[in-house]
């Protein structure tokens, strides 16, 4: 006999999304989850002075992990105007880390070795709009933790209809 399901739930997981800005492909720029994996699984310190770009609470977790690994944290750029206060954000603030809310990375600067040497940031003034870059942060590591997307590529190719349930 045959069984046919009326609906199928597929839990594919998610993958972290990159951020778009000028020179975002320089060595030393990576997803926050990649930096955490280097530190947790391989004991690798991914940089000496870092900036974290965040649009969720996970970015603050990346910042805390970097501090625990002995990486100096030059600051956190949070894309949100008023990030909600949670334990990780409070812990970052308690460590005296500079947090720039409503700021986005504008351009990464290339150092002598071809890797990132710094970053300019711009204040967000509207959807897709920023003021001229007004901040410069020196760093040799930029961790981006701005959001996730479902890993549903094969399902899309197979013609499946994807839906979200909150």
- With cut-offs at 50, 70 and 90, classify the pLDDT of residue 8: confident
Percent of the chain with pLDDT over 70: 100
pLDDT at 63: 97
Close Cβ partners of 62 (under 8 Å, ≥ 6 residues apart): 32, 33, 35, 36, 52, 54, 143, 145
Phi, psi of 80, deg, nearest 5: -80, 150
Q: What percent of the chain has pLDDT over 90?
A: 79
> Over the stretch 77-122, which tens digit does the pLDDT of each residue have?
999 999 998 999 999 999 999 999 999 999 999 999 999 999 999 9
Give the pLDDT confidence of 131-156 residue by residue, as tens digits. Answer: 999 999 999 999 999 999 889 888 88
Q: What is the pLDDT of residues 23-52, one digit of tens each?
A: 999 999 999 999 999 999 999 999 999 999
Provide the pLDDT for residue 9.
80
Cβ-contact 127, 148 below 8 angstroms: no
pLDDT of residue 112: 93
For tokens 């094969």, name the residue: 154
Closest CA to 116 of 22, 38, 33: 22
CA distances 136 to 45, 77, 118, 120, Å, are 23, 11, 7, 4
Q: CA nearest 141: which of 41, 37, 32, 59?
A: 32
Cα(38)–Cα(50) distance, integer angstroms: 14
Nearest-angstrom CA–CA distance, 155 and 143: 30
Rounded to two decimals, the pTM is: 0.88
In this model, does residue 165 exceed pLDDT 80? Answer: no
Mean of the per-residue pLDDT values for the chain? Answer: 93
The whole-angstrom separation of Cα 121 and Cα 90 is 23
């Amino acid at each position: 006999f045959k069984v046919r399901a009326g609906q199928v739930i597929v839990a594919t997981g998610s993958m972290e999304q990159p951020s778009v800005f000028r020179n975002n492909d320089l060595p030393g720029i990576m997803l926050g989850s990649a930096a955490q994996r280097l530190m947790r699984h391989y004991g690798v310190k991914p940089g000496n002075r870092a900036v974290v770009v965040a649009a969720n609470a996970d970015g603050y977790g990346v910042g805390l992990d970097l501090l625990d690994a002995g990486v100096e944290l030059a600051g956190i750029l949070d894309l949100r105007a008023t990030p909600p206060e949670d334990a990780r954000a409070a812990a970052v603030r308690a460590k005296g880390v500079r947090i720039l809310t409503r700021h986005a990375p504008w351009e990464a600067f290339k150092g002598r070795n071809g890797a990132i040497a710094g970053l300019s940031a711009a204040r967000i003034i509207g959807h897709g709009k920023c003021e001229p870059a007004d901040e410069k942060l020196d760093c040799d590591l930029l961790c981006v933790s701005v959001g996730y997307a479902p890993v549903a590529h094969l399902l899309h190719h197979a013609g499946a209809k994807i839906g979200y349930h909150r």
